[in-house]
Amino acid sequence: MKTVVITGSARGLGLEMAKVFKKNNFNVVISDLALDKLENAKNILSNIKSDSEVLSTICNVTYQEDIDNLIELVNKTFGRIDIWINNAGVNQPNKAIWELSKEEIDMIIDVDLKGSIVASKLVMNYMLKQGYGAIYNVEGYGSNDAMMLGLSLYGTSKRAITYFTDSLAKEIATKNLNIIVGKLSPGIMITDFITNALGNKEKIVLDEKTKKVYNILGDYPDVIASYLVDKIINNTKNGVRINWLTNRKAFYRFLTSGFNKRNFFK
Query: Is residue 194 within the footprint of ligand NAD (CB under 6 A)?
Result: yes
Residues in contact with ligand NAD, shown as a per-residue x/- string from 130 to 169 under the rule CB under 6 A: --------x-x-----------------------------
Query: What are the strands, taking DSSP E only, across 162-259?
Result: 179-185, 188-189, 196-197, 202-203, 218-219, 240-243
Residue 193 DSSP label: G
Query: Is residue 219 within the footprint of ligand NAD (CB under 6 A)?
Result: no
Among 193, 215, 229, 253, binds ligand NAD (CB under 6 A): 193
CB of 1 to ligand NAD, least distance (A): 25
Query: Is residue 90 within the footprint of ligand NAD (CB under 6 A)?
Result: yes
User: Which CB sits closer to ligand NAD, 134 or 194?
Assistant: 194
Query: Is residue 61 within the footprint of ligand NAD (CB under 6 A)?
Result: yes
Residue 239 DSSP label: T
Query: Is residue 4 within the footprint of ligand NAD (CB under 6 A)?
Result: no
Query: Is residue 13 within the footprint of ligand NAD (CB under 6 A)?
Result: yes
SS (H, E, C) 84-149: EEECCCCCCCCCCHHHCCHHHHHHHHHHHHHHHHHHHHHHHHHHHHHCCEEEEEECCCCCCCCCCC
Query: Is residue 32 within the footprint of ligand NAD (CB under 6 A)?
Result: yes
Among 3, 4, 5, 7, binds ligand NAD (CB under 6 A): 7
State the Cα torsion 259-266-227-162 to the nearest 10°: 100
- The CA distance from 99 to 211, in Å, is 24
149 contacts: CB under 8 Å, gap ≥ 6: 96
**Interaction site with ligand NAD (CB under 6 A):** 7-8, 10-14, 32-33, 59-62, 87-90, 111, 138, 140, 186, 188-189, 191-194, 199, 221
